[in-house]
Chains A and B, each alone.
Chain A
Amino acid sequence: MEYILIKVLEAMATFVLAFIVGMTYGGVVRKITGRVHNRLGPPWYQNFIDAFKLFSKTRGIHHGAMHFLGAAFLMVTSVVSLMIIPILAPGGHAWYNSWFTNLNFNGDLIFLIYIMTFGPLGMAMGAGQTGNPNSSIGVTRGLSQMVGFEIPWVMALVALMITYKTTSIVDFMNIQRETGTWLMFANPFAFIAAVLAMLGMFRYSPFDIVGAPTELASGPVSENGGKFLFTMMSSGSVFTFAKLVLYVDLFMGGANNLIMLVVKTFLLYMIPVLYGIVSPRYRTEQAVRWFWGWPTFIGLLAILYAVMF
C-alpha cells in the first residue's frame, strides 16, 4: 500500500516537473522568436500567465459530450506517455532518480508508438463535434501529416529495436551507459530520420499546417476557449516535454540529473524551433511528400545499417 502511495506521489512529481518545464520552454520559445523578430518578446513566464488566465475564464461553451473528448484524449495521451517514458536514467547517482522512472515495462516503446497517435484521434472526434469546418479540415490535415512523419519515425525506432533486440526504453538507456556510446553515434541514420520526423511532430513551421492561422483560423482548436484551451495548452506542454525526453533517452544516453536533462532537451528542442522561425509553411501534400522523401530514405538506410552491422 505504502509502495503504491509513493508511486503516486512520484507520478505527480513527474507531472509537475513536466508541466513546469514544458510551459517554460513555451515561454522561452516565444522569447527567442521575439528576439529573432527584432523585438523584446514576452517574459519567459508568459505562458504560465496565459494558462492561468484561460483557467480562470468564467464561461466556457461546449458543443456536446464528444467535444470534451478532444481535450480529454490529449490530456490522457500526454500523461500516459509521460508516465511510460523514464525521465531520468534509473539507478543513477542521485537519490531522486527513481522518482522519475514511473511505469516503464518491456515493450513500452511499442505501446508508446500507439499512444502517441491517440491524442490526434481524440482531437478529431472533438473537432468533428464542434461543427466548425475549419476544425474538421485542420484535423484531416493533422492526420495526414501524422501519416507522413510516423513512417520515418517508426523506421528509426525499428532500426534501434533490430540492433539491440529490445523494446524497452530503460534497456536502451542501460545499453548506452554500458557501451559509453550514444545511439545517435551508434546508428546516425536512425537519429537523423528521427530528428526529421521530429520537425513534423512538434508542428512548428514549415509543418504547422494543422493550426495554420491564415488558412484555418486555428484549426482543430478553433472552437475551444477558456478551460478547454487551458487543458489543451498544458497537455501540449507536457507532451512536448515527454517527446523531448524520449528523444534524449533513446539517442542521447538519457540524463542522470535534472540539469543535464534540461540542457539536452532544450538543445534538441531548438532544432524545430529555429528551423521554424525562418520557414514558411508547406501545403499538406507537400509536407507528406517531404516526409516520404529524404526522411523515409534515411529511415530505410537506418534499417539496412541495423540489419547489416
Chain B
Amino acid sequence: MYNDKNSKKIVETIQNWARSHSIWVLAYGTGCGAIEISPTMTSRYDAERLGFRGAATPRQADVMLITGYLTVKTVKRVVRVYEQMQSPKYVVGFGSCTINGGMYYDSYNTINLLDRYLPVDVYINGCMPRPEAVLAGLSKLQQIIREGNANGAEKYLENLAWYKENQRKIAPNWIAKAPDLNW
C-alpha cells in the first residue's frame, strides 16, 4: 500500500509543504548582500514568522543564500559547503552580481554566472535587494518547493560532470584534489 503511486504522492505533498515552511538558511555571508540578511531576519522584517531560521553549519541547512558576488576563492568554499549540505537543498542567488556579474563584470576575481557552478533555484535581482525583495524571493522559493520543482540537488548530481568541469576551469588545482561529494 505504501508503495502505491497515489499514497507516495500524498506523502510527497505533505513533505514538500513542511519543507517550504521550515527553511533553515545557512549562515554564510559570501558577499556584501549579507548586510541585508540581518534586517530580514530581525525584528523589522522577521523572516522567522514564515519559517526561515538561521542554521550554523551546512549539515543542518536547507538553503544557501549566495549573497552577492563570488570571488574565485569563495567559490571553492561555497562548492564544498554546498556538497556538505543534505538534500533536498536549495540555492538562492542574491543580487545582480550572481546573475551576470553586476558591476564587477570585468573583475578578474569574481565569477559572473553563478548557475554555471551551482544549480540556482531562485534569483533575486537588485544591488542590493531590499529585505522586501529578499522575502519575495524566498516566498517564491517556498512556492517552487511546494510545487515540487525545487530539484537543484538532483540537477547537480545529474550534471555533475558539467558542473565539475566549470568549477575546475576557475580552480584547477583545488577541485581536482577534492573528494567527490562525500565531504
A and B touch in the complex (CB under 8 A): yes
Q: Which A residues are closer than 8 A to B by beta carbons?
A: 30, 34, 37-43, 46, 49-50, 52-53, 56-61, 213, 217-218, 221-226, 229
B3 on the A face (CB < 8 A)? no
The DSSP consensus for interface residues of chain A is loop
Q: Is the CB of B56 within 8 A of A217?
A: yes
Given contacts A40-B46, A61-B59, A226-B86, contact A56 B18 (CB under 8 A): yes
The 0/1 profile, CB within 8 Å of A marked 1, for residues 63-105 of chain B is 0000000000000000000001111100000000000000000
Q: Is the CB of B46 within 8 A of A61?
A: no
How many angstroms between the C-alpha atoms of A199 and B15 in the bound complex? 36
Residues from chain A with Cβ under 8 Å of B169 in the complex: none
Q: Which B residues are closer than 8 A to A by beta carbons?
A: 14-15, 18-19, 21-22, 24, 27, 42-44, 46, 48-49, 51, 53-54, 56-62, 84-88, 153, 182
How many angstroms between the C-alpha atoms of A223 and B51 in the bound complex? 22
Q: Is the CB of B43 within 8 A of A38?
A: yes
Q: Is the CB of B15 within 8 A of A56?
A: yes
Given contacts A56-B15, A61-B182, contact A34 B57 (CB under 8 A): no
How many angstroms between the C-alpha atoms of A217 and B27 in the bound complex? 10
Distance (Å) between the CB of B88 and the closest chain A CB? 6
How many angstroms between the C-alpha atoms of A39 and B43 in the bound complex? 5
Residues from chain B with Cβ under 8 Å of A38 in the complex: 43
Residues from chain A with Cβ under 8 Å of B14 in the complex: 52
Q: Is the CB of B87 within 8 A of A58?
A: yes
Given contacts A49-B51, A50-B22, contact A60 B86 (CB under 8 A): yes
Closest to A42 in B: B48
Closest to B55 in A: A218
How many angstroms between the C-alpha atoms of A307 and B85 in the bound complex? 56
Could you pull out 12 A-B pairs where Cβ atoms are within 8 angstroms?
Answer: A39-B44, A39-B49, A41-B49, A43-B49, A49-B51, A50-B24, A56-B15, A57-B87, A58-B88, A59-B86, A61-B86, A222-B57
Closest to A43 in B: B49
Distance (Å) between the CB of A123 and the closest chain B CB? 15
Q: Which of B19, B61, B153 is most buried by chain A, counting CB atoms within 10 A of its CB?
A: B19
Q: Is the CB of B18 within 8 A of A224?
A: no
Distance (Å) between the CB of A56 and the closest chain B CB? 4
Q: Is the CB of B18 within 8 A of A53?
A: yes
